[in-house]
A and B are shown apart, each in its own frame.
Chain A
Amino acid sequence: MRTHADLTSPIETGPAISPLKPGLTMGSLEAAGQWTLIWHKFVRNKLAVASGILIVIFFLIGLFAEFLAPGLPGTSRPQYTYAPPQTIGLFIEDAAGNRTFQPHVKGYSIEIDPVALRRTFVVDDEAIVPIAFFVGGASYRMWGLFEMDLHLIGPVNPSDPMYLLGTDRLGRDLLSRLIYGTRVSMSIGLIGVIFSLCLGVTLGSLAGFYGGWVDSAVQRTIEVISSMPTIPLWLGLAAAIPLAWSPLQVYFVITLIVSLFGWTGLAREVRGRFYALRGEDFVTAARLDGSSERRLIFCHILPSLTSHILAVVTLAVPTMIVAETALSFLGIGLKAPVVSWGVLLQEAQNVRTIATAPWLLAWPAGAVIVVVLAYNFLGDGMRDAADPYES
């Protein structure tokens, strides 16, 4: 019969079961899943990819801080206070003019200003400090687990000065401190965002899913929190931390404070999307199928938001990093034995210090700015890629 033949005709069933065209493999875009599409769209944004790689590098620096740092962050050598940064030279020229390959930095000699009686360091061209990769130096416990003394780069003779980024007020190596600070600052951003992810997703999805008074309560809370100027509030909460607490406790409380105000943006985003999605067909279908509300929220609606949530979360990280930096800079965040970028910036608090040792401001500030920029670019790229079906 004609009608039966019609049912199997290519026009009717075309889109659903059409065999792959010759030359197309299963991995190609037409047959790709959502995440493959997102990935393709993301990869096209070169800036975002580069930023992502940069952030991974920063995390690796934080992870292997002990090995990468040439020294320990707390070692101070009073004879080298405010020593300026050294540059690495690759070749040594001897008296006869022969150039031999030997990576080195120039040592310092001290000149005393006859009027102000102030010590200034000048680079001493005669004092050559040979440096090398994988040298033994100050010993440390790698991840607190086992003893090691291998450093990626360092002076061949451990007692020679090698300060690639200069030193601070107490003659501590800025490069080592910056590397150890990377661990603390990067992890605060990550842990803080996990806290606010839990809070934001839970409250946002409840508000968007149930609506009604739950929604209004959450909305009002968000409104109160986001209408408070953040810095005075952080100051107020951080100032309440007892001085006697251990650095680890302070670290967690600071992370908590920082994340306490970062979740509002996320909650708003999740709420809006839930609001839009809860009337969708697939939600109704799941509901009719007998899914419980918890199953609806966590197994049906939330997974379809994952890419958006990832993007918002990425954009929230820089705020946390800046918050920690600002608090520590003001002296009511993380404190001395702990090293973070904010603690480092505390050394550069007045203009006279910055004038003597500009590197104390430049390097930690540079690190903060680069990481914040990279997170922003990465987040923008992820947000653009989050919905691969758009345009």
Chain B
Amino acid sequence: MLRYVIKRVLYMIPTLFGISLIAFLIIQLPPGDYVTSMVASMQDSGRAIDPAEIARLRTLYGFDDPFYVQYWKWMSGILFRGDFGHSFEWNRPVADLIWERMGSTLGLSLAALLFVWAVALPIGIYSAVRRHSVGDYFFTFLGFIGLAIPNFILALTLMYVSYRYLGQSVGGLFSPQYVDAPWSWDKFVDLLAHVWIPIVVIGTAGTAGLIRILRANLSDELNKPYVITAKAKGLPEHKVVLKYPVRIALNPFVSAIGWVLPELISGVTITAIVLNLPTAGPLLLRALVSQDMYLAGSFILLMGVLTLIGMLVSDILLALLDPRIRYR
């Protein structure tokens, strides 16, 4: 088992390297750099700027170095000092800005993952056991709709519905009076009243996908001889289904972390922008628009790392659950 884990972790290293390269590429991509745009805006406002000062800034941030030197400076800062670079727009270290936002991103993604599991499990089992029933068709139809509606459209629709029919303030995670209040029961209730919209929005597509997979796996499993034997021996149906086939068909639930997580984090980003939630999404968009590239690149890097860790966890859990994978 340990061998498997170590092998799996070592496997992650090239992927991590690839992700960091992509993130750095995004930092480098926009034409010009922060100093050029700063100089331009200062000249617009009529202030002259000393060429020596420009040169000093450029060497300070290393804008004139070749690509790999800049990459190495950025990466070594992160790896050895936890320094993600400097946010030019906020004039603060990037590290100060991202952790809180990444925390809420992770929290929301995990909540959405729990939602996906909690909804997909009963519906998937029902659909597989009662195949081609009215309920099965209903859920299949719902699932297709869930897969087809883009996150942000669903968010806008739910926002409209809750504004129009529930009279609720939408957007954000709290009502205005609770934003800065200390934690209390009322604040928690208020959070629950707000947080269901993003969770439903983010989780819908994943739920629909997982139901389809669970239904297919479980239907295959239910046709196997051992199930027929169990039935022939007179076990009650719920026991036949829950005892063995469901346990085997549960594998996709664990492996789902691997492919649902990128989707969820992706979903959190755009949903948070639409609903104005305090996660990484809105800050990332703002950083990209104002070309505050170290901030934006760090967010993209961390989101990639987060999904990688999710995949690692899912693979290890899967190996724990299913010895066939461990010994392959």
Contacts and interface: CB of A to CB of B under 8 A. Distances in A.
A345 interface: yes
Interface residues of A, number: 41
Interface stretch (B148-156, B180-188, B215-223, B315-323): B148-156
B150 A332 contact: no
A325 to B, nearest CB: 6
A373 B153 contact: no
Interface stretch (B48-56, B84-92, B157-165, B225-233): B157-165
B311 A358 contact: no
Interface in A305-341: 318, 322, 325-326, 329-332
Contact of B270 (A228, A330, A361, A365): A330
A200 to B, nearest CB: 18
B93 to A, nearest CB: 20
Nearest to B29: A240
Given A224-B18, A229-B304, A235-B288, A240 B30 contact: yes
A332 B29 CA distance: 15
Contact of A239 (B14, B30, B150): B30
B152 A326 contact: yes
B147 A240 contact: no
Interface in A221-276: 221, 223-224, 226-233, 235-237, 239-240, 242
Contact of B288 (A220, A236, A369): A236
A174 interface: no
A48 interface: no
Given A329-B152, A330-B285, A239 B296 contact: yes
A325 B163 CA distance: 24
B153 A332 contact: no
A376 interface: yes
B288 A332 contact: yes
Interface string B9-29: 000001100110011001001
Contact of B160 (A224, A351, A372): A351
Given A229-B303, A235-B269, A355 B164 contact: yes
Contacts of A220: 14-15, 18
Given A220-B18, A230-B266, A361 B304 contact: no
| Size class of the contact patch on chain B | 35 or more
Given A228-B22, A233-B22, A369 B148 contact: yes
A111 to B, nearest CB: 22
Contact of B300 (A236, A354, A372): A236
A289 B307 CA distance: 48
Instruction: Indicate the member of B145, B159, B269 with the most A CB atoms within 10 Å.
Output: B269
A372 B148 contact: yes
Nearest to B264: A229
Interface string B165-184: 00000110000000000000
Contacts of B263: 229
Contacts of B273: 330
A105 interface: no
A368 interface: yes
Contacts of A318: 148
Interface string B138-152: 000000110111111
A288 to B, nearest CB: 34
A190 interface: no
B44 to A, nearest CB: 16
Contacts of B171: 351
A331 B328 CA distance: 48
Contact of A224 (B22, B31, B266, B270): B22
A325 B148 CA distance: 13
A332 B303 CA distance: 20
Contacts of A227: 15, 19, 262, 304, 307-308, 311
A246 to B, nearest CB: 16
A58 to B, nearest CB: 14
A224 B273 CA distance: 25
Contacts of B157: 361, 365
B15 A326 contact: no
A65 interface: no
Contact of B269 (A231, A355, A376): A231
A233 B265 CA distance: 11
Contacts of A69: none
Contact of A229 (B26, B29, B269, B296): B269
A229 B31 CA distance: 24
Given A326-B152, A354-B156, A373-B145, A232 B19 contact: no
A365 B148 CA distance: 11
A226 B22 CA distance: 12
A349 B275 CA distance: 10
Interface in B271-304: 273-274, 280, 284-285, 288-289, 291, 296-297, 299-300, 303-304
B160 A231 contact: no
A231 B18 CA distance: 18
Interface string A338-364: 000000010011010011001001000
A304 to B, nearest CB: 26
A233 B300 contact: yes
Given A224-B18, A345-B153, A239 B288 contact: yes
A264 B305 CA distance: 19
B43 to A, nearest CB: 18
7 contacts: A228-B19, A231-B267, A240-B30, A351-B159, A351-B163, A365-B157, A368-B150
Interface of B: 14-15, 18-19, 22-23, 26, 29-31, 144-145, 147-153, 156-157, 159-160, 163-164, 170-171, 262-263, 265-267, 269-270, 273-274, 280, 284-285, 288-289, 291, 296-297, 299-300, 303-304, 307-308, 311
